[in-house]
Copies of this chain bind each other. A is one copy, B any other.
Amino acid sequence: MESMELFEGISSGNLNRMLSCFHARKSSFSRGQTIHTYSSSLEKVGILLSGKAHLYCIDQSGSYTLLERFEKNGLFGELFTLPLDNLEYIVEADSDCEVLFLPYSCIVRPCANICDHHTRLIDNLFHLTTQKSQTLSFRINLLSAKTTRQKLLNYFHYIQARSESSSFTIDMSLTDLASYLGVDRSSMMRELKAMKNEGILESKGRRITMKTIQHS
The answer to whether B137 touches A81 (Cβ under 8 A) is yes
The answer to whether A65 touches B144 (Cβ under 8 A) is yes
- For A111, the closest partner residue in chain B by CB is B123
The answer to whether B137 touches A67 (Cβ under 8 A) is yes
Residues of B within 8 A of A126 (CB): 122, 125-126, 129
Query: Closest approach, in angstroms, between the C-beta of A215 and any C-beta of chain B?
Result: 5
- Our pick among B59, B108, B122, B161 for the contact of A216 (Cβ within 8 Å) is B59
Cα A161 to Cα B144 with chains together (Å): 25
- Of A19-27, A82-90, A197-205, the stretch lying at the interface with chain B is A82-90
Can you list 13 pairs linking A and B with CB atoms under 8 Å apart?
A: A59-B216, A68-B137, A68-B140, A80-B130, A80-B137, A82-B137, A84-B138, A84-B141, A87-B216, A119-B119, A133-B136, A143-B143, A146-B182
Cβ of A72 < 8 Å from any Cβ of B? no
Cα A158 to Cα B82 with chains together (Å): 11
The answer to whether A109 touches B129 (Cβ under 8 A) is no
Residues of B within 8 A of A157 (CB): 84, 86
- For A65, the closest partner residue in chain B by CB is B144
Cβ of A60 < 8 Å from any Cβ of B? yes
What is A's interface to B at a CB cutoff of 8 Å?
Answer: 9, 57, 59-61, 63, 65-68, 79-82, 84-87, 108-109, 119, 122-123, 125-127, 129-130, 132-134, 136-141, 143-146, 157-158, 161, 182, 215-216
Residues of B within 8 A of A158 (CB): 84
Question: Max chain B CB contacts within 10 Å: which of A87, A123, A130, A145?
Answer: A130
The answer to whether A138 touches B82 (Cβ under 8 A) is yes
Given A123-B109, A126-B126, A216-B59: A81 and B144 within 8 A (CB)? no
Query: Closest approach, in angstroms, between the C-beta of A137 and any C-beta of chain B?
Result: 5
The answer to whether B130 touches A60 (Cβ under 8 A) is no
